[in-house]
């Protein structure tokens, strides 16, 4: 497995070979940002409000990537109503604390600079709420490299990677899908890309 230092440098090398690509979409969590600490501690906090103690943060890695509501139902048996309550509780800690418990993978800014200099259109497609994505990218000092940032909505009307990507192509309607590539780190990125008909590069 590649180290975090080389994660997006590998992506850069691959894209140089994919000369037909004109636009690149990046996932956020696990691709640009190592956000494990913030996400898992906020999930732990939300579960505790339901009387569920989960001391092992590694078990909560499954929450990194997919929509929170779906994960609370799938992994902890919460009803849909409870899952929405748990998501609200998650955000209660995430906004003031958890959002800052992350770091950008080394080499990311250099990769974005290179791709931008090569003339690529750069966007973000994340299942994290769009407003949160923009705050994090701004904190990392890389928001300026993104032509558009597309994420989930707080009300849940857009929450899956498929829905996020559909929103991307509502905004990028003039860009052929065969010239767009999604870069992500989970099966949700791969499956979402397949659903909308774009290539996907999976980073380790």
Instruction: Enter the tokens of residue 7.
Output: 């994660």
Q: What is the mean pLDDT of residues 50-78?
A: 95
Tell me the HSE value of 184 on the side-chain side, using a 13 A CA sphere.
26
Contact between 199 and 11 under an 8 Å Cβ cutoff? The reply is: no
What's residue 47's pLDDT? 98
User: In whole angstroms, what is the distance from residue 17 CA to residue 45 CA?
Assistant: 44
User: Per-residue confidence at 19, pLDDT binned at 50, 70, 90?
Assistant: low
At 20, the pLDDT band (50, 70, 90 cuts) reads confident
- Helix, strand or coil for residue 122? strand
DSSP letter for each residue of 56-104: -GGGGGGGSSS-HHHHHHHHH---HHHHHHHHHHHHHHHTTTGGGS-EE
Residues forming the active site: 27
Quote the pTM value. 0.88
């Amino acid at each position: 497995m590649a180290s975090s230092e080389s994660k997006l440098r590998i992506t850069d090398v691959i894209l140089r070979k994919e000369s037909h690509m004109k636009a690149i979409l990046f996932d956020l969590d696990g691709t640009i940002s190592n956000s494990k600490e913030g996400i898992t501690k906020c999930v732990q906090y939300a579960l505790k409000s339901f009387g569920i103690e989960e001391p092992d943060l590694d078990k909560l890695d499954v929450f990194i990537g997919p929509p929170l509501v779906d994960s609370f139902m799938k992994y902890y048996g919460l009803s849909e109503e409870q899952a929405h309550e748990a998501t609200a509780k998650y955000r209660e800690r995430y906004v003031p604390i958890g959002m800052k418990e992350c770091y950008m993978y080394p080499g990311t800014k250099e990769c974005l600079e290179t791709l931008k200099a090569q003339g690529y259109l750069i966007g973000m497609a994340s299942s994290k709420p769009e407003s949160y994505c923009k705050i994090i990218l701004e904190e990392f000092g890389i928001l300026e490299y993104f032509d558009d940032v597309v994420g989930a909505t707080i009300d849940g009307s857009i929450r899956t990677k498929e829905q996020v990507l559909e929103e991307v192509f509502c905004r990028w309607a003039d860009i052929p899908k065969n010239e767009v590539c999604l870069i992500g780190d989970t099966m949700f990125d791969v499956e979402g890309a397949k659903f909308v008909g774009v290539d996907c590069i999976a980073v380790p």
